[in-house]
């Protein structure tokens, strides 16, 4: 039996890609934002603000470093066979679905690096880093096997980058743009 990331369950059970995006947006972004509001958190306390200069610098360096990793990833058959995760009919449909993936990435980063990381980091940074990283890594189970250890390492790096940048925007942009770049490479480099 293959384990699937929980966020993919509605999609696998018959929902389409848009249903998947709506599910993730609701349960990873909208409901946690509502809970955060009810608990009295300001959006900035949950990492929802523009990053400082250090956050932008780390994002730029890590994005550049992600390019060779993406190129390497296209040589791994399980990765190239899995991505992109959506079907598309032409480049305009591809672009639309990459924008929807951006919404999924925003929801994930807001949840893991925003709602889970920032409040706890005020008390204990390393505990917060690891506690947000465990569920983040778990949702990668069921994807190509190389993604699980990669997600664990990336989750720590993303958390530290976001804490230094005082915002989850750097990890959102790195996650989304890195994912989009990889999807494009998978499509373009397919014989």
Give the per-residue pLDDT at 20: 86
Specify the pLDDT at position 4: 43
Q: Which of 59, 46, 52 is nearest to 117 (CA)?
A: 46
Tens digit of each residue's pLDDT (9 = 90 or more) over 5-33? 545 444 444 568 888 899 999 999 999 99
> Average pLDDT for residues 182-189, to the nearest whole number?
94
- Is the predicted pLDDT of residue 74 greater than 60, yes or no? yes
Rounded Cα–Cα distance for residues 157 and 47 (Å): 16
Rounded to the nearest 10°, the torsion over CA 142, 147, 149, 152 is -90
Residues with Cβ within 8 Å of 185's Cβ and at least 6 positions away in sequence, in order, are 70, 71, 73, 74
**Coil, strand, or helix at residue 3?**
coil
Residue that has been written with the tokens 């039996």 in this structure: 1
pLDDT of residue 3: 42
Name the helix (H) or strand (E) containing 155.
Answer: helix 147-165
């Amino acid at each position: 039996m293959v384990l699937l990331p929980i966020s993919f369950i509605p999609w696998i059970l018959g929902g389409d890609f848009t249903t998947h995006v709506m599910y993730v947006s609701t349960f990873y972004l909208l409901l946690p934002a509502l809970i955060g509001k009810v608990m009295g958190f300001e959006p900035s306390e949950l990492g929802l603000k523009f990053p400082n200069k250090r956050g932008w610098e780390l994002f730029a360096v890590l994005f550049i470093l992600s390019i060779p990793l993406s190129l390497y990833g296209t040589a791994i058959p399980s990765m190239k066979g899995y991505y992109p995760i959506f079907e598309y009919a032409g480049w305009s449909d591809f672009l639309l679905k990459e924008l929807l993936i951006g919404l999924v990435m925003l929801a994930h980063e807001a949840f893991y690096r925003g709602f889970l990381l920032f409040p706890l980091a005020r008390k204990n940074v390393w505990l917060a880093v690891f506690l947000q990283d465990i569920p983040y890594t778990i949702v990668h189970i069921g994807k190509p096997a190389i993604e699980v250890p990669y997600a664990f390492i990336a989750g720590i790096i993303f958390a530290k980058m976001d804490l230094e940048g005082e915002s989850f925007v750097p990890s959102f942009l790195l996650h989304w743009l890195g994912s989009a770049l990889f999807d494009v490479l998978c499509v373009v480099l397919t014989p």
